[in-house]
Amino acid sequence: MYKLLLGILPLLFVGCKKEKAVEKEIVKTIDNTCYSSDFMEKILNLEEIKSEAKFLESETKGKGKIGFLVDSTKVNNGWDYSISVGYNGPDRFETYHIFQASSDQCNSLKIMEPVSGDYISIEKWRQMTNESVQPESGLKKGKYNLPIESLPRVDVKFLETDFLPEGSQQYTCGELKFRYFPLTPYKGMDLILVPMDCGDFDYRYYLLTVVENKIVGELYVEGIWFDPGKDDKKEEFSSYEISKSGKVTVTTDHTLDGESQSITNAYYQISDDGKIIEIKK
């Protein structure tokens, strides 16, 4: 009897032993989809919208808030959103900006450029907004392209205008009108020639750079120079070249009795702000 019980006990223990449960594999999914509410939050966090919201609240004594109008279009497995941002007034919705976004591109938010109607990046929109509007110039644009060499004198026909760029008085030889010859635009500025034919010299041209209707740089580049107080037949004939990179080379032929004695070159660079800087050799 005891032997029988001892034989049964191990079977009981084996039968009562709990098996360890098999853990099911958990697959985590990441949702990369953004919805209109996500983009509205991004828009509200833009510094420009914060500034407009603050101004609107001030103008309406706290009653006006930035509002949204959202137009959703189903595209394949996602959504395209057109989000109008503005003031939701008591009579109508006043649109400030229109944004464009897609549910599968959470980091892409574009804004409509009002003139062209194109959607551009926020960075480009900020750049265009911050760029100052260039004042309209009263000078005609030059028709030549860089590089430029000294033009034949017969082709240099100076224009006259009542428009006086800032700093032009010293280049008018006492006349009421401003005389100039337009060469070419360069990096947002105008390159022009002006004649300084008053006094002892009737053939002297200066190169001027004009930035936002202001004369910034000057350089004597072409003409004849001699010493009026001497009768030694010495003269200097100067001419110029302007490269595509804005480098100006002034070549001077030193003559005696009409015969060339030596030729010298001087080099200058037109900087991005319009100054003409000598390049030391």
Indicate whether 194 and 76 sit together in one domain. Answer: no
Residue at 192 is within a domain: yes
How many domains, the chain?
Answer: 2
Same-domain check for residues 189 and 268: yes
For each of the chain's 281 residues, which pLDDT tens digit applies? Answer: 444 334 444 444 444 444 444 444 333 334 578 899 999 999 999 999 998 888 888 878 888 889 999 999 998 888 999 999 998 888 788 888 999 999 999 989 999 987 788 999 999 988 887 764 556 678 998 888 889 999 888 888 999 999 999 999 999 988 889 999 999 999 989 999 999 988 778 899 999 999 999 999 999 999 998 887 777 788 999 999 999 999 999 999 999 988 999 999 999 999 999 999 999 87
pLDDT of residue 114: 79
Q: Are residues 175 and 115 part of one domain?
A: no
Q: Of the candidates 72, 244, 78, 13, which has an alpha carbon nearest to the alpha carbon of residue 146?
A: 244
The Cα 106–Cα 37 span in angstroms is 12
d(CA 205, CA 192): 10
Same-domain status, 190 and 256: yes
For position 228, what pLDDT does the model report? 76
Length of the chain equals 281
pLDDT of residue 94: 83
Within a domain: 136 = no
pTM of the model as a whole: 0.54
Residue 114 within a domain: yes
CB 236 within 8 A of CB 224: yes
Rounded Cα distance, 35 and 70, in Å = 11
Q: Among residues 130, 162, 190, which one ends one of the domains?
A: 130
Using an 8 Å Cβ cutoff, are 100 and 38 in contact?
no
**Residue 88 pLDDT:** 84
Identify whether residues 67 and 102 lie together within a single domain. yes
For 97, the domain range is 36-130
Q: Long-range contacts for 185-191 (Cβ within 8 Å, ≥24 apart)?
A: 185/141, 185/142, 186/146, 186/246, 186/270, 187/246, 187/270, 187/272, 188/134, 189/216, 189/274, 190/137, 190/139, 190/141, 190/142, 191/142, 191/242, 191/270
The CA distance from 193 to 46, in Å, is 47
Looking at the fold, whether 166 and 116 belong to one and the same domain comes out as no
Please report the pLDDT score of residue 134 as a whole number: 56
Tell me, yes or no, whether 154 and 259 share the same domain: yes
Residue 34 CB: number of other CB atoms within 10 A?
A: 22
Same domain flag for 118 and 213: no
3-state secondary structure 47-64: HHHHHHHHHHHHHCCCCC
Token readout for 130 is 């911050």
For residues 280 and 182, give the distance between their C-alpha atoms in angstroms, rounded to a whole number.
28
Is 221 inside a domain boundary? yes
In a domain, 65, yes or no: yes
**Nearest-angstrom CA–CA distance, 183 and 187:** 13
Is 16 domain-assigned?
no
Q: Where a domain ends, among 103, 130, 157?
A: 130
Contact between 279 and 269 under an 8 Å Cβ cutoff? The reply is yes
Q: Which two tokens stand for residue 193?
A: 């020639």
Written as one letter, the residue type at 88 is N
Whether 103 and 180 map to the same domain: the answer is no
Q: Which of 95, 130, 165 is the last residue of a domain?
A: 130
Based on the domain organization, do 154 and 115 belong to the same domain?
no
Other CB atoms within 10 Å distance of the CB of residue 160: 10
Q: Are residues 176 and 88 located together in one domain of the fold?
A: no
Residue 43's contacts (CB-CB under 8 Å, 6 or more residues apart) are 49, 68, 83, 85, 99, 109
- The verdict on 180 and 265 lying in the same domain is yes
